[in-house]
Amino acid sequence: MATHAVAQTRPSDSRVLKGRDLITIGIFTAIYFVIQFATMLLGGLHPALWVFMPVLDGLLAGVPFMLMCAKVQKPGAVVIMGLIVALIYFVTGMFTPLILGMMAGACVLAEAVRALARWKGFAGNALAYAVFGFGMCGSPLPIWVFHDSFMAQISAQGMSVEYCATLDALASAPVLVAMLAGTFVAGLAGAAIARVLFKKHFEKAGLV
């Protein structure tokens, strides 16, 4: 009877995040943020790089996200990653309600996708990563959602006339669709890149 009772509790207990899981999430979130922050800095070089920053994120940051998912096959991992990223942006002053809303929605949807896939398998986690990428679409979205006030704000902050003019030209419906679609496709591609790296490097290191 005791053995049977223990066996019954193991499935639920195995889905509870433990201290080691939180450390793992923290480590890979830090790596994810560094990559993401680097792509954001590139946005200062040209407006198009900033507008399509979520696409670059999706393509380049798949490794830490997918590796975290492989090591922490439990609910809540993606929400914690998104929360940490949002807190860092809040502390550094690069935080808006729009980013918060997009990040929260993306995290919830990504968690739902992982749950449907039972937190295992490449396809479910890859789709979760592609959805998670929509969180950072909240960064360039103001050029469409709050166009006039946003353009006035960045001009007052000292952005060059050329930069503002190019950014204004990018604020079109086709570019918005391209940014959103590109983010999703790049997320799938980033997950595929991670899978190749898992096979060639991570499995040899015993990390997965």
Domain coverage including residue 104: 2-205
In order, the DSSP letters of 11-24 are HHHTTS--HHHHHH
In whole angstroms, give the CA distance from residue 74 to residue 114: 9
Q: What angle, 0 to 180 degrees and rounded to 10, lies between the N-to-C axes of helices 161-170 and 147-156?
A: 160
- Segment 154-204, tens digit of pLDDT: 888 888 889 899 999 999 999 999 999 999 999 999 999 998 887 765 565
pLDDT-derived band of residue 4, with 50, 70 and 90 as boundaries?
very low
In this predicted structure, the answer to whether residue 14 has a pLDDT above a threshold of 80 is: no
Q: Which residues, 6+ apart, have CB-to-CB distance to 132 below 8 Å? A: 65, 78, 82, 106, 107, 110, 187
In this predicted structure, the answer to whether residue 41 has a pLDDT above a threshold of 80 is: yes
In whole angstroms, give the CA distance from residue 49 to residue 101: 22
Could you count the other beta carbons within 10 Å of the beta carbon of residue 162?
A: 9
- The pLDDT value recorded for residue 208 is 52
203 membership: H or E segment, kind and range = helix 203-205
- The pLDDT value recorded for residue 89 is 81
In whole angstroms, give the CA distance from residue 201 to residue 47: 35
- The pLDDT value recorded for residue 99 is 83
In this predicted structure, the answer to whether residue 9 has a pLDDT above a threshold of 70 is: no
- The pLDDT value recorded for residue 15 is 78
- Segment 110-164, tens digit of pLDDT: 999 999 988 888 889 999 999 999 999 988 999 999 989 889 988 888 888 898 9
User: What is the number of structural domains in the chain?
Assistant: 1
Kindly report the average pLDDT of the chain as a whole number: 86
Residues recorded for the chain: 208
pLDDT-derived band of residue 64, with 50, 70 and 90 as boundaries?
very high
pTM (two decimals): 0.86
- The pLDDT value recorded for residue 204 is 52
- Segment 83-108, tens digit of pLDDT: 999 888 878 776 678 888 899 999 99
